[in-house]
Chain A
């Protein structure tokens, strides 16, 4: 499962090709020194490393096209990278080659209120896009935990989810059109600005979530919604995570679809509290964070029903945030859960299993049993309303190979259990290099073959993101 570290040394890219790359982007945007390459060896995923031969930062779609044409001609691997905040080793250059960074492509090209859409270059951060929409009274709902740093191009490439997924869906529900450079250098524009458009296969959806294996996304057109007039957040405390899971089922069964239903177990609460000092209940075993937005009266009614459902499910306390700042603090703290967990141990391996909502409480209980059986410390949080769980294994040190082996066995069992309950091995983080070994278990051999044939049709030379989807 874990890749070996490539050794530093002579670049694997021919001198003549380097000269051409240099001519395309200029010297300061082509990095070749050892120290400049080491920092692109990893992303936010632990344990996966691969040192590239070059890092290249093009300024626009045209430059990307020229780079990819060269790469295909010379068989040089290209790994597209946004902010490198993904959690599936999707941007690790496992076989060397070039890391293609979109960090210079950061222009918001337009916000069109009359069409309720925005157009941005791939390197724009999710938060910057959201702020630009808000300035025109509009709303871009997908909000992955890393929204302050993640890029819209990376969000589309991984079909990122987030805290508002329950009511608003995920990135794919908002992508109207894409500008994509194929590995062979052609520039294609899929979809566009239309709400209805069925001309041809839905390539926009195919490329959304393709994890940089089919083409390099350089520009994105997203649909926007009107900014909701009110948004509120509240907390309910429970004795156990399984109990919080049951409350989630009850809330949804009562016909309420809030924007946010997140839960954290005790370990996660401790880590978040240490960072954010929110004054969370110290005696509770689990916390359910709920939020809703829209018209004030409707939000108030939805909050009453959520509070009632939590209380009848055995909540030991229910609080609602006083104002927007307090709401924002709660949501920010939830988004920081994963990095905050590293306060408990220096190696955190996180997973992303997803199950049908009614099986949530059962999945939580099964994870606990698996963790106990394999003697690993497991902290669990997740998007409870989506049935999407992030069990996170915390280890003292990255050198603890025996502990890592136990964690791997525990995660293999968790994946197996998720599939058995009708779920999946990744809800929103993606497959990347981290989950590729488990993919066939979920998809079966016929789909795996189809995926490989699609990959070959897009990328005949196999240069884009090798070792990931379609490889």
Chain B
């Protein structure tokens, strides 16, 4: 067995964070991958014990279970709110991948995405061509952040957000927030990019992506960042009708928005104000998009998504709303494969539909 240089204890993980877990197992029922396998290794508690085995040198860095579990984890952080000990699992996972996914060990899809995300000029041009929002900073106190991939994949989202909050500045010249890097083995670069974006955009930074919101606020401060529904508060008008009745709408939480920032009441309140809100039993559970996961592990991503599409189909709803572009893409694909009549929309687009 060839093994890389064994790191010395304490060099990969913050020892204070790693020692916090007492293995009580309260996280097991919250973990989507443990639900798939019923195997300790794919639970948060098991993964922390794997991190410890790596940290202490008991397992070599090229141990196949380490590689598999660092990648199999969705990084949804559903284990954090249920942890009485306050273990910061998301932070530990970033540190783990920071080591595990260096050089040749990084999955090809991740390498490609990070390469693409770094091409800021390309996003700027694509965004302008596809018609993403654009509003110079003149006099605006706060700004709207444009997601790297959202600009070209879902350009209507930022237009809707700007229509709902026309006071926001939307400069096209803005970089990536670095969430992609932080979650995929480059925590240092992730923090650097977030810092740069914080310096680039004035005032409070409003985002249409739960994942970006959580990462940005971890670096530049919670008070500098607001997810769109949090920013809008109760500022919505109109209703979404289906014929002569109110539309029935459900929400798919963004994992990092809910588990990282505790924002989940806000989007529900908004949807409830303009339509008939229906709570899905698993609304808080990951949809399997999980940032790059749907590309890195498409098969597992679909296994996680399956039960959610069942729930959506059984709920008798007209719309399912996402608060993160990755979730939106994932839900749309799942619904299309099922030939479902339920429409998936970003919350900005749904609220604009109500206002129009």
**Which residues of A are interface residues toward B (Cβ below 8 A)?**
5, 8, 31, 33-36, 38-44, 46, 55, 57, 83-85, 101, 103-104, 106, 125, 127, 146, 148-149, 274-275, 336-340, 342-343, 346, 348, 397-398
Contacts and interface: CB of A to CB of B under 8 A. Distances in A.
Nearest to A398: B19
Given A149-B29, A339-B83, A43 B23 contact: yes
A275 B50 contact: no
Contact of A57 (B38, B68, B83): B38
Interface string B11-34: 000001001111111101100000
A44 B25 contact: yes
B39 interface: yes
Contact of B63 (A35, A46, A84, A125): A35
B279 to A, nearest CB: 15
Interface string B271-304: 0000000000000000000000000000000000
Contacts of B19: 346, 397-398
B140 interface: no
Nearest to B56: A5
11 contacts: A33-B63, A34-B63, A35-B66, A35-B68, A36-B65, A39-B50, A41-B49, A44-B22, A55-B40, A337-B84, A338-B22
Nearest to A276: B84
A100 B292 CA distance: 35
A98 to B, nearest CB: 14
B38 A148 contact: no
A133 B54 CA distance: 43
A34 B65 contact: yes
A101 B24 CA distance: 17
A146 B25 contact: yes
Given A85-B24, A340-B84, 12 more contacts: A35-B64, A38-B59, A39-B45, A39-B50, A125-B29, A149-B26, A275-B84, A275-B86, A337-B84, A338-B24, A346-B16, A398-B19
A346 B16 CA distance: 8
Interface residues of B, number: 32
Contact of A39 (B20, B24, B26, B46): B46
B86 A274 contact: yes
B85 interface: yes
B29 to A, nearest CB: 6
Q: Which of B28, B38, B40, B64 has the most CB of A within 10 A?
A: B40
Interface of B: 16, 19-26, 28-29, 38-41, 45-46, 49-50, 53, 58-59, 63-66, 68-69, 83-86
3 closest Cβ contacts across the A-B interface? A35-B65, A336-B84, A346-B19
Contacts of A34: 59, 63, 65
Contacts of B23: 42-44, 84
A42 B49 contact: yes
Given A39-B49, A340-B84, A33 B22 contact: no
B85 A340 contact: yes
SS class of chain A's interface: helix, strand, loop or mixed?
loop
Contacts of A397: 19
Nearest to A33: B65
A176 to B, nearest CB: 26
A83 B45 CA distance: 11
Contacts of B38: 57, 101, 103-104, 106
A275 B24 CA distance: 15
Nearest to B66: A35
Contact of A38 (B28, B39, B49, B68): B49
A169 to B, nearest CB: 24
Contacts of A41: 49
A339 B25 CA distance: 10
Contacts of A104: 38
B13 to A, nearest CB: 13
Contacts of A339: 22, 24, 26, 83-85
B84 A38 contact: no
A392 to B, nearest CB: 11
Given A339-B85, A340-B85, A346-B20, A36 B25 contact: no
B22 A348 contact: yes
A36 B41 contact: yes
Contacts of A398: 19
Given A44-B24, A149-B25, A31 B49 contact: no
Contact of A84 (B40, B58, B65, B85): B40
Contact of B26 (A103, A274, A336, A346): A336
Contacts of B49: 38-39, 41-42
A345 to B, nearest CB: 9
Contacts of B46: 39
Contacts of B64: 33, 35
Contact of A342 (B20, B50, B63, B68): B20
A186 B27 CA distance: 35
Given A31-B39, A38-B58, A343 B86 contact: yes
